[in-house]
Chain A
Amino acid sequence: MSAQTPYEPKIVAFLCKWCSSAGSDLAGVSRIQYPANATPITVACSGGVSPQFVLSAFHKGADGVLVSGCHIGDCHYMEGNFHARRKLYLVKELLEFTGVEPDRFRMSWVSAAEGAKFAQVVRDFVEDLRPLGPQDKLKAERP
């Protein structure tokens, strides 16, 4: 990124195939305007998001990581999001403990019908990330 371009936060968004990914789709087809900072990665289930994915995204230079899945009780695989919640709570606590800004990691429950909520989640995330500046704590030094 050249010095002239203003800083735009890069977000890696892990979206579950059944709810949040469909929710982002709905935001798109409903023509809801929201920042284009999030790179969506569709996963089978939020329960399959390994803490390693989150760390790896930061390692590769993400400014923020979003994990989004079905609402509790609505998981296509019955209990995947319960597992996600527990695992990623630990990731969140560990990131905060080691001094990474807590706002860099976020989770949300977005159903397939909540296009507007998805847009709002991304909008809020971008706004919270902007003042933090580029993430260089967990980013690899090599090009």
Chain B
Amino acid sequence: MIDLGALHTQVRDILETGEVRAVVGWRRGSRGMLAEPVTIATPEEAETLVWDPTCFHNLSLTLVEERKKPSWRPGKPIAVVAKGCDARSLTVLMQENCFRRDEVYVIGVSCAGSGVLDERKLAQRLPGVEPDSAAFDGDAFVCATAGGEDRIPARELMADRCLECRDAHPKLNNVVFGEAQPRAFDPPFAALARFEQEQVGVAERWQFWQRQFERCIRCFACRSVCPMCYCEECVVDSINMAVGADTTAAEKANRIRWIERSASRADNIGYHMTRALHLAGRCIDCAECERVCPVNIPLRLLNNKLEREARVAFGYEPGASIDLPALVASFRDDDPNHFIR
């Protein structure tokens, strides 16, 4: 269990001493039980920070967005409250030289034995009810509703990624709250293994994914919420082409368009496959893409698939260390060769 008071004290201290210029954390949101990300810069605000099972967001995204602003200036580090998965994504960002280690002060919060809940599972469990708060008491989620308290076993409500989490204790940290406990839920890639058991043949797989991708409305929420999708120009945004006075109409019309932005089955598949490949060896399974998807596409399966392949075939674990080379920028002599004629 995390002592919220100790967290507040720590945040107040580092802001008071000027060790950091700001702290990114979660505060109580304006809708029901949900927490929301917040950036605070004064010690007085330290008390507003919360930690509960609705702290879904991967806050390294806030840091990436801040970094991209024209107003960004180097200076004192920025502190981020990070769960195990968030700390891994910070590691990858540092590995890619998005930040230096001394630019970020990581306040680790260990999910030891707990995890965040899944809003979709909650909506199924308590249909039509919006709890006012959610807490974790060791082996169950306690949701306070107007009609009293509901105690729901952890397994039924916890997000899949948390059930399968392998690093609940943030490895990268300046200070960490909560203890490192072994987890007692699913083995890694359990949801992926379930999927592969259910959809065996090529035809079944295609039936499944076709249904998923046809739904995509190309809102790009998955891209917006991903801390790893920080490219200045995305492969689908060919609108960013530099147009000068002497750019001809033909040049504009014939600009390279790998994938169209509009929603059609083939282009949706192209987009999601490209995204999965760009995230290979970088995705650390925070599963934010799947959480924000308005049409419930199981995007986590795609990312998990490539993460598992990288682990099995190349012995590569994303987010393990800042000094690790990138997956596709490195190789081993004994990489699989059996599929090549």
User: B206–A100 contact, CB under 8 A?
Assistant: yes
User: A99–B310 contact, CB under 8 A?
Assistant: no
Residues of A within 8 A of B264 (CB): 140-142
B1 interface hit (Cβ, 8 Å) = no
Known: A85-B331, A86-B328. A93 touches B306 (CB 8 A): yes
Residues of B within 8 A of A138 (CB): 266, 269-270
Residue of A nearest to B278 (CB): A51
Residues of A within 8 A of B207 (CB): 99
A96 to B266, CA, bound (A): 16
Pick the contact of B302: A83, A85, A97 (CB < 8 A). Answer: A97
Query: Which residues 26-85 of A have a CB within 8 angstroms of B?
Result: 51-52, 55-56, 59, 72, 79, 82-83, 85
Residues of B within 8 A of A56 (CB): 258, 270
User: A137–B206 contact, CB under 8 A?
Assistant: yes
Interface membership of chain A positions 100-114, coded 1 if the CB is closer than 8 angstroms to chain B and 0 otherwise: 111000111100000
Known: A90-B309, A108-B341. A139 touches B335 (CB 8 A): no
A92 interface hit (Cβ, 8 Å) = yes
User: B341–A106 contact, CB under 8 A?
Assistant: yes
A109 to B341, CA, bound (A): 6
User: A108–B270 contact, CB under 8 A?
Assistant: no
User: B206–A99 contact, CB under 8 A?
Assistant: yes
User: B209–A98 contact, CB under 8 A?
Assistant: yes
Residues of B within 8 A of A93 (CB): 305-306, 309
A79 to B327, CA, bound (A): 15
A101 to B203, CA, bound (A): 8
User: B208–A99 contact, CB under 8 A?
Assistant: yes
User: B235–A52 contact, CB under 8 A?
Assistant: yes
A11 interface hit (Cβ, 8 Å) = no
A142 to B260, CA, bound (A): 11
Residues of A within 8 A of B339 (CB): 89, 92, 107
A91 interface hit (Cβ, 8 Å) = yes
Nearest CB on A from B329, distance (A): 8
Pick the contact of A79: B269, B273, B331, B340 (CB < 8 A). Answer: B331
Query: Which residues 271-313 of B have a CB within 8 angstroms of A?
Result: 273-274, 276-277, 280, 302, 305-306, 309-310, 313
Taking Cβ atoms with an 8 Å cutoff, the residues of B that contact A are 202-210, 235, 258-260, 264-267, 269-270, 273-274, 276-277, 280, 302, 305-306, 309-310, 313-314, 327-331, 333, 335-337, 339-341
